[in-house]
Structure 1
């Protein structure tokens, strides 16, 4: 029997055994104003524990394992009915790691020498939010990022919910009856005069409009999404063709959901997306512009979700997506795939154990079809069919302690984590 047919068969069988709404139940954060009376102080603890393993058989990327947890203790204060202020610390821990690269994480961090390290990775956490109306919210500081943006997978790798630092900057949330709009600026790198690294920020937009009622038996919707990352500032010391870099991703799509509302079968959905890439300034990537097509289907069965998708692209590069969705090899320097295609199968199981606790398991399989490779160094000219997979286990706690139940010394413990100047802490 053909080994690739066998792989696909096993993949389909695995996909039919599990899957649920992992992003919504485990990774996303509620955007509702924190509960509590005006003038009261409460304590929130946001903890996400994870064990994730990725096995790769393609030149597009290498495999790796991420065991660890993310912890955010923070104090919440309501100075007014429509205003909330949150202050605390964000920490990321990988089991088995006793030192961490000392810079912002947008992915699994790259080691940059023995001198640039800390023994822990801590960041100050601060969010100020005001509800201008029941439909409009303004957020300054740490944003509702990651899974909350609801970006399609070719534009955003869900794994970043584990490894990336919190997004911080400015955010506008608009949620009328049939639409949602999320606009944000994530300021990733701040510079001073004569600094030796680049200023960097990402502008993002994610919108969705329900053409029919979301609770109708057939829910038809349209989406539009965009990301633009700019690197380079007028006061840094970097010159030449890498002084300014601007790269863009975008997507438009249509989706149809059948709301079955049955005891086991809850929903069946089909979605079609067209994605684009454009390198407006700089030559960071060897391709200037490209596009991709993403067709996906899913079925929700109680606490399970099963999904499948087909992806095909030409000269497409994803700013924050998994390397499997782009033409650039992260394993072979300068190598570019020609019109890669991929079948994706996924399964999730999620369960809400309590209002403050959720558990999730996911399995994803990627079958990349054979494609030519343009390799200037002549190492490889072709890659055959390749089967890769990943799986993860997650447990998230997000309890809130009201004022009368605040642990003694909670404020002092959080405030004591900040050194003068609010820098990253090395312990």
Structure 2
């Protein structure tokens, strides 16, 4: 059965040979956290992601479905000084086949930068920008839950990347019949070695979710849950025509429900991921092995969890998966990226084979509208 499943997965990968996943490589231009340095200048920033994503899932854990649609985030940016800017606009999410927009939300950010760090208040750089493993943060959220609002601290040095953030998801007033909800996170990627031949490092991740409050009238119990992880990666940089990097990464991940009254399916759980990747520029092929026991996640890919979307009788305490991911991204014009993807998942416990495939067109354009004269002192 396993040989048959492996053969089918290879055929599926060949069939989606031009592929694009949502787990962008760490150096992808879309994950660039640098900012334009300007003063007394007004810019227009247009951010648009168009997506078609088909999940052909037939297992007992995750439902199969198709996502098709787009989001738009047009914003104006005013640069007060080289280190301070404010920006605001709208975020609109629409699924094809629905007449109305699913989301129409105003956006605003105040951003302060100095040397290697940035402080953002308001709309922060979320989802895939946090560079979390897929079991901790489902990269599909880049499309479906793109907005995160709160406070963020970013540090970007030669051998250290740090992202510390607070995403306040639900605010409450006195006597509201709902609870406040928030997620705090930390993503640290230090390099022990980083040169033209080798890269080696030990990333660390932490996510804490809280639901509660002291001024609401909701009868729901307070909940505090946590995901955490530590990893190790080793990358060899190459100079072949169609292969410029080869890497190995291992990740140990955990879950813990620290609520006064535990309502999660499991109180604690762990997972272990091993990955081998071959890459060329912003493209890669990755083979992964996942083994977990009672693992749950606040925002991770449901495929890696023990909880079943199909009901109580389908939960699986032990999960063991072999997966293959193919990612292809091409810049077809300045700041415009066309992508295709293909994923295959093999459940080693029962031989189920599931796959997903999709395409994206992402436009990220920043243009100067007007530069103003400095005010007279």
| TM-score, L = length of structure 1 | 0.82
Q: Which residue of 1 aligns with 2:340?
A: 361
Q: Within 5 Å, which residues of 2 pair with 1:241-260?
A: 242-260=220-238
1:292 aligns with 2:250: no
The residue aligned with 1:333 is 312
* Residues in 2 aligned to 1:71 and 1:184: alpha-carbon distance in whole angstroms: 23
1:180-195 paired onto structure 2 within 5 Å? 180-195=161-176
* 1:172 aligned counterpart, secondary structure: strand
1:397 aligns with 2:363: yes
Aligned equivalents of 2:329, 2:73: Cα separation in 1: 22
| Cα shift at 1:355 | 2.2
The answer to whether residue 122 in structure 2 is matched with residue 141 in structure 1 is yes
Q: Check conservation: 2:43, 2:77, Cα contact below 8 A.
A: yes
| Counterpart in the other structure of 2:375 | none
Structure 2 counterpart of 1:33: 35
**How far apart are residue 13 of structure 1 and its match?**
4.3
Kept in 2: contact 1:20–1:303 (CA 8 A): no
Alignment deviations for residues 25-82 of structure 1 (CA, whole Å, 9 cap, x no partner): 87944321135x3111011110000011101111111111111001000001100110
CA distances 1:106-155 after superposition (whole Å, capped 9, x unpaired): xxxxxxxxxxxxx5520011111101x31221100001111111001110
| 1:313 is the counterpart of 2:279 | no
Match of 1:265 in 2: 243
1:26–1:359 Cα contact (<8 Å) kept:
no
3-state SS of paired residue (2:214) = coil
Contact 2:198 2:237 in 1 (8 A): yes
Aligned with residue 142 of structure 2, among 161, 166, 169:
161
**Alignment check: 8 A CA contact 2:176 2:215 kept:** yes
Separation of aligned partners in 1, 2:125 and 2:223: 26
User: Which residue does the alignment assign to 1:283?
Assistant: 262
Q: Are 1:220 and 2:220 matched, yes or no? A: no
CA contact (8 A) 1:19 1:347 kept: yes
**Aligned match of 1:123:** 105
Residue 388 in structure 1 maps to residue 354 in structure 2? yes
Secondary structure of 1:261's counterpart equals strand
* Alpha carbons 2:44, 2:367 under 8 Å: kept: yes
The C-alpha deviation readout for 1:213-262, integer Å capped at 9, x for no partner, is: 2x3312111100010000010011123xx421001001101000000033
Instruction: Spell out the pairing of 1:223-242 with structure 2 (5 A cutoff).
Output: 223-239=203-219, 242=220
Once the two structures are overlaid, the 10-residue window that deviates more, 49-58 or 259-268, is 259-268
- The answer to whether 1:71 aligns with 2:51 is no
The alpha-carbon deviation at position 21 of structure 1 amounts to 7.7
Give yes or no for contact 1:69–1:92 (8 Å, CA) kept in 2.
Answer: yes
CA distance in 1 between counterparts of 2:339 and 2:134 reads 18
Partner of 1:11: 9
Aligned mates of 2:209, 2:30 — CA distance in 1: 23
SS in structure 2 at match of 1:212: strand
SS of 2:193 mapped into structure 1? coil
CA-CA distance at 1:369 after TM superposition: 2.1
1:161-212 CA distance string (max 9 Å, x none)? 1100411100011122211110000000001111111100000000011001
As a proportion of its length, which structure holds more strand? 2
The 2-side partners of 1:42 and 1:404 are apart by 7
Distance 1:220 1:286 in 2: 36
CA contact (8 A) 1:168 1:188 kept: yes
| Partner residue in 1 for 2:56 | 55
1:206-217 superposed matches below 5 A: 206-213=187-194, 215-217=195-197
Q: Alpha-carbon deviations, 1:314-338, whole Å to 9, x = none? A: 1110111111111111111364213
| TM-score, normalised via structure 2 length | 0.92
Name 1:179's counterpart in structure 2: 160
Query: How many residues are paired up?
Result: 366
Distance 1:275 1:228 in 2: 13
Q: What's the RMSD between the two structures over aligned residues?
A: 1.9
The answer on whether the counterparts of 1:44 and 1:76 sit within 8 Å (CA) in structure 2 is yes
Unaligned runs of 5+ in 1: 100-118, 371-383, 406-427
SS at match of 2:4: helix
* Alpha-carbon distance in 2 for matches of 1:300, 1:29: 17
- C-alpha separation between the residues in 2 aligned to 1:20 and 1:189? 33
Q: Detail structure 1 runs of 4+ shifted over 4 Å in the superposition.
A: 18-22, 24-27
Cα distance change of structure 1 residues 289 and 219 upon mapping to structure 2, 3 Å threshold? same
